[in-house]
Amino acid sequence: MEIDVPATTTNFGAGFDTFGLALELYNTFEVRPSDSYRVRVFGEEGKNLPSDESNLFVRVYKRCCEVLGFQDRPIELKQFNSVPVARGLGSSATAIVGGIECALKVFNTSLPLEEKLKIAFEFESHPDNLLPAFVGGFTVNALDGDRLYFTKHEFPQELRLVFAVPDFELSTERARRVLKKRFTRQEAVFNVQRAALFISSLLSGDYALLSEAVKDRLHQPKRAKLIKGFDEVLSAAYAQGALGVFLSGAGPSVCAICKGSEKEVAEAMVQAFASRGVKATYKILKANSEGCMVRC
């Protein structure tokens, strides 16, 4: 069995913990029955990931078997990593989603998405990453206690996502710690207005609104201070014609929404990081609409 799980980008500035998008960049998990657990991780992006039963995919797989009421069956896992780790592109979500889908396939059973997410939330409590990895597309979610509401939409096909990926990791936990505990009414209203404007821009096709719609006062100003060169990268991307520029997830990758001039934007972002002594690479990606795919 092979399982392809897409990377994700989230927040889009003002849509903090709310907006998520699946991308055409994948981690692939090749699974076979085995007499004992064996894990091999391939790809430069996964060189530091565990190659034993502490591997996140395996831990999620075993937990899902337990929830299903089955004794887990040992597997041989080959994990091919293309999604950068701890860079704000949903690498951990790929392993969580993959582990759940693997267990369901091994035992030839199914679960509704709500039940899959309950298992996933034991490992990561961020539906903005998990939802698009499961279902694809652009997702909008809202939590009310334990209840999750969400919608899935097609992302405009003419838009591209350009990522500048710096050569250092930033854990979600560290990025969460720097956030303010309290916000003013003005800050909250600022974000509500721009999150609504973002959706309106996508629906109307008036992409000139995106540069304003991705502005944020809840998370990005604090997190940007952890990312050397962030302001320069943002300015460089806009100077080359980017429509909207924001911190991908918790960072440190920076994403630019583009309609044309993608390579110019990408190179300018990388050069801006370099001007501050930060090595970076770039990825130019399309939105993924299918989500996780399982092939036998």
Tokens 């809202």 identify what position?
142
- The token duo for 241 is 């014609």
Q: Are residues 15 and 36 in the same domain?
A: yes
Domain boundary residue, one of 132, 154, 176: 154
Beta bridge partners of 254: 164, 247
Question: What was the pLDDT predicted at 130?
Answer: 98
Q: Are residues 265 and 123 in the same domain?
A: no
Question: What is Dmax (Cα atoms) for the chain?
Answer: 59
Q: Are residues 46 and 61 in the same domain?
A: yes
**Helices in the chain by DSSP H: which ranges?**
56-68, 91-106, 113-121, 127-135, 172-177, 185-204, 210-213, 220-224, 230-239, 262-275
Structural domain contains residue 281: yes
Domain boundary residue, one of 154, 175, 206: 154
CA distances (Å), origin 173, targets 71, 80, 223, 250: 32, 25, 12, 9
CATH value at residue 182: 3.30.70.890
Residues 9/90, Cβ–Cβ less than 8 Å: yes
Domain boundary residue, one of 90, 125, 154: 154
- Tens digit of pLDDT per residue, the chain (296 long)? 999 999 999 999 999 999 999 999 999 999 999 999 999 999 877 788 998 999 999 999 999 999 999 999 999 999 999 999 999 999 999 999 999 999 999 999 999 999 999 999 999 988 999 999 999 999 999 999 889 999 999 999 999 999 999 999 888 888 888 888 999 999 999 999 999 999 999 999 999 999 999 999 999 999 999 999 999 999 999 999 999 999 999 999 999 999 999 999 999 999 999 999 999 999 999 999 999 999 98
Burial (CB < 10 A; 0-12, 13-18, 19+), residue 182, is exposed
Does the global pTM surpass 0.85? yes
Residues 244/214, Cβ–Cβ less than 8 Å: yes
Structural domain contains residue 291: no
- Structurally, the chain folds into a number of domains equal to 2
CATH value at residue 10: 3.30.230.10
Closest CA to 291 of 120, 154, 144: 154
Give the domain extent around 185. 160-285
Q: Which residues contact 165 (CB under 8 A, 6 or more apart)?
A: 84, 87, 89, 253, 280, 281, 282, 283
Question: What was the pLDDT predicted at 48?
Answer: 83
